Structure 1
Amino acid sequence: MTTPSTSSSSSRKSELFDPADADVVFQSCDGVLFGVHRANLQTHTDGFPPAEFATAGEVCALSESAETLEALFQFVYRRRHPTLAGLPFARLAPLAEAAEKYQVFAAMNICHIRMQEHLPDNAAEILCYAARHDYPALAAEAAPNLISMPLIEVASVLPPDILLPWIKYRHEWEKVLDAVAVPLRKGHRPLILGPLCPDCSHLRPVDLSVRSLRRLDTVFEEPFALSLCASFWEHWRGDVRRRIARIRGFAMAQG
């Protein structure tokens, strides 16, 4: 929130927020004015001007767009709040950040819930949001979706304070891969000390990277003709899944 300024005559007024008795006026970064009642800000938020803030004839310039502020201010009035269902991520993300910035509590809650609906897409942005604003369950849900991304790409989008914990988390997946990839490299023997099973050739083209652990249905989709191969394959798949289930969830602060 910037220093109050005199309202420009070229500014437009919000159609939803232009009451005659508004005692606080905000201006969006794209020049739209919003008249709001101070009492509602005091009741429903913690980040707007205090009661003693004088605004007579002045405007408080905010850094958010009119689209974001129009959605945000709907949460400071005693009315049915927007559900935000189906709101595109490009609009939800700035609204969620504004809700956290100005501590608009009702908006904070619903934005956090709607963020989950945009996974696995936008996982990196959601992980950053969750870590920045202390939503550990959401961070833990977002983090596995980045396992399939090359590390260099993840490093380019995550800030340093989140990147190190995420690298430690990815390392747990890499340890699982090291443990379960042996059958892929060596095949198995259908009889003790017997020759390598010829059907194991189907195993060798499998992607030996941590990405494969996030798409097990694809890895295991090809059936085996020999019953012993199929039995071994099922045992190996179960071992992979058990090891993945034992991976600790992503923690925003790891020792």
Structure 2
Amino acid sequence: MATTPTPRTSQRFCASDADLTISSSDNVLFKVHRKHLEVHSDVFADAANATRPENGDEIVYLQESSEVLELLFQFMYRQRQPDLRHVEFPKFMEFAEAVDKYVVYSALSAMESQMRVHITDHPLRVLDFSAIHGHADLGNEAARIAVGLSMSSAAAILSPHTFTKWMAFHDEWHAGAMNAVAEFLSLLRRHSREELSSSLEACVRDPKRWYTERSTLQNYTWANELTFLDIEFMQPTDNDSL
């Protein structure tokens, strides 16, 4: 029979005057001050009565790992905040989930800023997170970066609910792109447009280039040929939390 490892205490969060002990999923104890958690987190504030000292020395067990809680609690104390650029992507995504789960407003801006950095390399992961947690700006940016990815890639990463939305977005976007290509080819037949030809080739090779080439393409076509670039995956009022 496997034995439970002996708990160890976090070196950073081990205050002698702590009035709350939290255990991570990997059995690390965090001795923290409930006032900090209640001020910075809606969830801990709502659970205040359940963690009062008069309830005894009961340990509060959370599902997150010690690495994630170490990051999260730093945003809930008056100190220099951790640099999320040094957090590897898988661990960062766990941290982002915790920020939304516990509604830690002090960490929200830093999390969203670093999430935006990861869009280029992990657009589908960011898209799925954004759709589930209602981050419309991040979701739309990620969707635009991911327009050239295959349905099979999206199906392997996106949750079923998000994938269903993604298929509709993908089909509408690419239908618009095909119509625009047809119009541009008509222009090329009527006129010799080296600049247009170069931009169009770039867009066909890499669909997300439609956004960076848009200003050039608009010089040679009607504005409504490019309206598919304004399609949004999420609306600002979307709240797709499941």
Report the CA distance shift for 1:139/1:14 in structure 2 as closer, same or farther (over 3 A): same
Q: C-alpha displacement at 1:155, in angstroms?
A: 2.1
Which structure has greater helix proportion? 2
Distance 1:237 1:39 in 2: 59
Distance 1:137 1:118 in 2: 14
Distance 1:29 1:243 in 2: 50
Distance 2:170 2:98 in 1: 31
- Poorly superposed stretches of 4+, deviation over 4 Å: 206-209, 234-238
2:22 corresponds in structure 1 to 26
Distance 1:56 1:87 in 2: 36
Contact kept? 2:130, 2:139, Cα under 8 Å: yes
Q: What amino acid sits opposite 2:37 in the alignment?
A: L
2:48 corresponds in structure 1 to 50
Q: C-alpha displacement at 1:162, in angstroms?
A: 1.7
Q: What amino acid sits opposite 1:13 in the alignment?
A: T
Q: How does 1:2-81 map to 2 (within 5 A)?
A: 10-48=6-44, 49-54=47-52, 56-81=56-81
**Secondary structure of 1:76's aligned partner:** coil
Distance 2:172 2:156 in 1: 21
**Secondary structure of 2:51's aligned partner:** coil
Q: What amino acid sits opposite 2:153 in the alignment?
A: E
Report the CA distance shift for 1:237/1:16 in structure 2 as closer, same or farther (over 3 A): same
**Secondary structure of 1:81's aligned partner:** coil
Q: How many residues align?
A: 221
Distance 1:44 1:245 in 2: 41
Q: CA RMSD in A?
A: 3.4
Cα deviation code 1:64-94 (max 9, x no counterpart): 1111100101111122322423433222111
Structure 2 residue 220 is matched with structure 1 residue 247:
no
Distance 2:126 2:160 in 1: 16
Q: What amino acid sits opposite 2:208 in the alignment?
A: R
Q: Percent identity?
A: 29
2:208 corresponds in structure 1 to 214
Distance 1:93 1:235 in 2: 37
Report the CA distance shift for 1:52/1:161 in structure 2 as closer, same or farther (over 3 A): closer
Report the CA distance shift for 1:237/1:153 in structure 2 as closer, same or farther (over 3 A): farther
Contact kept? 1:12, 1:33, Cα under 8 Å: yes
Report the CA distance shift for 1:39/1:188 in structure 2 as closer, same or farther (over 3 A): same
Larger gyration radius, structure 1 or structure 2: 1
**Secondary structure of 2:207's aligned partner:** helix
Distance 1:177 1:92 in 2: 34
Distance 2:5 2:175 in 1: 63
Structure 1: which 5+ residue stretches go unaligned?
Answer: 1-7, 191-196, 220-233
Structure 2: which 5+ residue stretches go unaligned?
Answer: none
Q: C-alpha displacement at 1:141, in angstroms?
A: 0.5
Report the CA distance shift for 1:164/1:239 in structure 2 as closer, same or farther (over 3 A): farther
Q: C-alpha displacement at 1:154, in angstroms?
A: 0.9
**Secondary structure of 1:163's aligned partner:** helix
Contact kept? 2:173, 2:229, Cα under 8 Å: no
